[in-house]
Amino acid sequence: MVKINENFLKLQKNYLFIEIAKRIKAFSAANPDADIIRMGIGDVTLPIAPVVVKAMKDAADEMGVKETFKGYEDSGAGYDFLREAVANYYKSFGADVNADEVRINDGAKSDCGNIVDIFGDGNTVLVTDPAYPVYVDTNLMSGRKIIYADSNEANGFAAMPDDSVHADLIYLCSPNNPTGSVYTKEQLKQWVDYAIRHEAIIIFDAAYESFVSDPDLPRSIFQIEGAKKCAIEMCSLSKTAGFTGMRCGYTVVPNDLEVVSEGGEKVSISAIWGRRQGSKFNGVSYPVQRAAEAVFTPEGQKQIREAIDYYRENAKIIASTLDEMGIYYTGGKNSPYIWLKCPNGMGSWEFFDKLLSEANVVGTPGAGFGKNGEGFFRLTAFGDRERTKEAMKRFKAMKF
Ligand code: PLP
């Protein structure tokens, strides 16, 4: 008889978004005229920049001509034109990344999940709590031990390392989903030093790096000295350039990153990851890679900035409302997420219900992202400007 991977049975049901949908449905049925504003979803809403659309159309045309048609891309790691564009982008903000360390993928989620394949099941995995659920789920699927580093009000939702606790694999996300907090260079340096001391590897998720506007804050772990000896970085064009429906991201594995096998042999992480990808992944489509290349051109950067600035202004509107109301929050300044403390000690779901029923506004209960999320709530800045303003007007009128 077929045996299932029993670890899948230990996964939590996809409770969060199902429960949100259930509560909205019940509320709408009872209040059919309610004008509900959704500020819970982490998807972008503005269209792809014109220069990017043109690049994709031109590439599609090339595919229809014998002389310029492209089949499989040989390396599977992405076309050189895009790997070089990504490396130059990194260099533009002071991160030392070479084109041969960049691999193109179909978005950060795939590699964040797939990277677990190359690490042994005996590793202890450290995840900050609260966290983007992929890190926990994919390690539970392979039966690994997970320990948590607390992100909470006391540390500004930026969990820090503790040398009395050993970890082999460490997931960090900055700017963070869901808390919007951003590590400083000094804080990331502490994580890098911890990883080197513990011979650990940091898996750094930089999916929201383009929202960092403060030049003193790091956008990549490779802006930190020593990171090339202990870190892998995943990034994405999803939120940076509206690629959630296009699917393109990139992972940086430093050429120098090595571990020692049980037999005492030095193993290159880049080589073993390349081997894994070679067997299980056939690359990203040519038109999408040409579109991604256009994102990194001067015109592309100018055009994508318009959308990022739009979302950033939405974040500012939300943050200043919370400032006026005297509500504690993190994020909103270098991040599209605003993570607020539910007023009057309310629980996350209690606040969800109150916000929905009194202001007809939907957000995401923090409890869905880990135990430290209880009593907190995530709002996103990816919505429409006028709807964001309206939501904040209604929020301000609420009585707590
Ligand atoms: N990492 C984080 C922290 C995210 O929030 C998301 C998406 O919301 C992703 C990765 C996945 O992005 P992609 O669309 O590139 O798969």
* 173 Cβ closer than 6 Å to some ligand 1 atom: yes
Atom of ligand 1 nearest to the CA of 177: 3
Q: Where in the chain is the domain with CATH 3.40.640.10?
A: 50-297
Report CA(359)–ligand 1 centroid distance (Å). Answer: 29
Residue among 377, 322, 6 nearest 178 (CA): 377
Q: pLDDT exceeding 90 applies to what percent of the chain?
A: 95
Say whether pLDDT at 39 is over 80: yes
Q: Are the CB atoms for 163 and 191 separated by under 8 Å? A: no
Atom of ligand 1 nearest to the CA of 43: 8
Q: Where in the chain is the domain with CATH 3.90.1150.10?
A: 7-47+300-397
Residue among 372, 359, 399, 370 nearest 27 (CA): 359
pLDDT for 203-231, tens place per residue? 999 999 999 999 999 999 999 999 999 99
7-47+300-397 placed in CATH 3.90.1150.10: yes
Q: How far is the C-alpha of 222 from the C-alpha of 195, rounded, in Å?
A: 14
When pLDDT is averaged across residues 347-372 and rounded to a whole number, the result is 97
Task: Count the residues in the chain.
Answer: 400
Kindly state the tokens that stand for 63. 């595919």
pTM (2 d.p.):
0.97
Report CA(284)–ligand 1 centroid distance (Å). Answer: 17
Alpha carbon nearest to ligand 1 atom 11, residue: 109
- Cβ-Cβ contacts under 8 Å for 399 (sequence gap 6 or more): none
pLDDT for 144-188, tens place per residue? 999 999 999 999 999 999 999 999 999 999 999 999 999 999 999
Alpha carbon nearest to ligand 1 atom 15, residue: 107
What crossing angle do the helices spanning 298-325 and 50-63 adopt, rounded to 10°? 140
The pLDDT, as a whole number, for residue 137 is 92
Alpha carbon nearest to ligand 1 atom 8, residue: 42
Report CA(251)–ligand 1 centroid distance (Å). Answer: 13
Report CA(109)–ligand 1 centroid distance (Å). Answer: 5
Q: Would you call the peptide bond into 130 cis, given omega within 30 degrees of 0 as the criterion? A: yes
Report CA(398)–ligand 1 centroid distance (Å). Answer: 33
* 247 Cβ closer than 6 Å to some ligand 1 atom: no
* 205 Cβ closer than 6 Å to some ligand 1 atom: yes
Topology at the third CATH level for domain 50-297: Aspartate Aminotransferase; domain 2 (3.40.640)
Report CA(73)–ligand 1 centroid distance (Å). Answer: 25
The pLDDT, as a whole number, for residue 187 is 98
